[in-house]
Structure 1
């Protein structure tokens, strides 16, 4: 499925396919995905396990190369975008260093980029305030809840001031209450930083609540089944999850899955 291009996109995904060799056979993980993402959009890649959504995210991040097709980031290759530090990445697990305090975990990418100490302090203090963890800056990761650890991971990803934030099921391990609360906090952060967000999830309500558009991926092989516009007004409020419009969107997306 191809989305018609009406503006110059920030991310251009052009006929991307991915095959994996498993022993003597091949697995087609992604099949001919073509779609564009505009600057500043919040996009969710939605689908069940095995549909290729994480594979597509990893291709965007230049962590793996597609078998065929290409992705352009503001006209550059994914490698050029990665080297230019255009990406921030948040994984399913926070991947924090237990021996570094919260503030030092967030500072790490700035140290690697050799940002001067004064600028490091300014950025990290601002990010701690943004994610609501200023009073926990001297705690170790193991002293924090799972949701707080993910907020640290988000702050660390934002430390390099990326144009694009790639998020691979960052809240999937959390209980439903914490997950919904962090959805709201993520939207608050996004509204302030303005990055383009590509968010992988297998939760239909989560995708609807967060996104401007939802890219529905169906498995066997992974393909773009449908692009769903989410017309809910922003800022999104918790009570929207109980609205008729929200439930109708859930039904529409659930009905759009193929081969599930």
Structure 2
């Protein structure tokens, strides 16, 4: 897939440099990419290649030192103020003194939504992420995987057009991670928003994505864009298929010698 006709996210020659006491560090160099509305894409690469930096630029948590970022036809800052996206970080960042449903309701509360409507919305989201019986629990009473599902529900509370996810499952064991991959795709199929997913796992990127953006390290550059022509809905059996292995092998080969 080349340049998309109507991009939801558009980066043009984006660079990011950090000044240190003794030198300048180039985190990203002239990255250009387009992401279509409703597309699920992954930013894939080794540690230190700038994946998280790129996601933070999309989220307006950082400002590029070169190039431009457009989100839903707006600047990243305008999109943030318009609440165009939700963010899920590597750690759930839940408030232990608030019950699960209160954590999910927090964005709605801060936006002035009434208590009754907040409760209704939280109930819907808890059911969506498979936790409808856990709203009155506290985060510390849940497993790591369940906490991350709460974080996803909270990110969806304001019905964002775009969901930005920064290695949300990397701290989990492989079995839990694979199960949550399937659950995430189930949620995405119902919500239909655009998802940008950061990972260093090749198999995770292939399983989840429509396209994989491969970043090279030091400094981060877009080295390849790989289409993933696997049918949806995707199930765990797909991981054992020949096409899946071929795609994983193809992407892994792009890192050899890097």
TM bucket, shorter chain = over 0.9
The corresponding residue for 2:41 is: 43
Are the equivalent residues in 2 in contact too, given 1:219–1:259 (CA < 8 A)?
no
Residue 216 of structure 1 aligns to a residue whose secondary structure is strand
TM-score by length of 2: 0.98
Number of matched pairs: 258
The corresponding residue for 2:8 is: 10
* Structure 1: gaps (5+ residues): none
The corresponding residue for 2:196 is: 198
Q: Confirm whether residue 57 of structure 1 aligns to residue 58 of structure 2.
A: no
The corresponding residue for 1:182 is: 180
In the TM superposition, residue 258 of structure 1 has moved relative to its aligned partner by 6.5
> How far apart in 1 are the matches of 2:105 and 2:53?
28
Give the counterpart of 1:166 among 160, 164, 167: 164
- Report the more deviating stretch, 111-120 or 83-92: 111-120
Summarize the alignment of residues 88-107 of structure 1 with structure 2, pairs less than 5 Å apart: 88-107=86-105
> How far apart in 1 are the matches of 2:257 and 2:157?
40
Are the equivalent residues in 1 in contact too, given 2:101–2:119 (CA < 8 A)?
no
> How far apart in 1 are the matches of 2:20 and 2:238?
44
Distance 1:228 1:173, change over 3 A: same
Residue 215 of structure 2 aligns to a residue whose secondary structure is strand
Are the equivalent residues in 1 in contact too, given 2:85–2:162 (CA < 8 A)?
yes
Are the equivalent residues in 2 in contact too, given 1:10–1:36 (CA < 8 A)?
yes
Distance 1:69 1:113, change over 3 A: same
Q: Confirm whether residue 244 of structure 1 aligns to residue 242 of structure 2.
A: yes
| 1:99-130 superposed Cα distances (whole Å, 9 cap, x missing partner) | 00000000000000001222212211100000
> How far apart in 1 are the matches of 2:157 and 2:256?
39
Q: Confirm whether residue 84 of structure 1 aligns to residue 68 of structure 2.
A: no
Q: How large is the RMSD of aligned CA atoms in angstroms? A: 1.0
In the TM superposition, residue 259 of structure 1 has moved relative to its aligned partner by 5.1
Residue 72 of structure 1 aligns to a residue whose secondary structure is strand
Residue 95 of structure 1 aligns to a residue whose secondary structure is coil
The corresponding residue for 1:215 is: 213
Give the counterpart of 1:224 among 213, 218, 222: 222
> How far apart in 2 are the matches of 1:231 and 1:59?
28
* Structure 2: gaps (5+ residues): none
Are the equivalent residues in 2 in contact too, given 1:45–1:214 (CA < 8 A)?
yes
Q: Confirm whether residue 134 of structure 1 aligns to residue 132 of structure 2.
A: yes
Distance 1:98 1:113, change over 3 A: same
Are the equivalent residues in 2 in contact too, given 1:29–1:52 (CA < 8 A)?
yes
Are the equivalent residues in 2 in contact too, given 1:225–1:257 (CA < 8 A)?
no
Q: Confirm whether residue 112 of structure 1 aligns to residue 110 of structure 2.
A: yes
> How far apart in 2 are the matches of 1:144 and 1:230?
34
| 1:221-242 superposed Cα distances (whole Å, 9 cap, x missing partner) | 1000100000000000101111
The corresponding residue for 2:24 is: 26
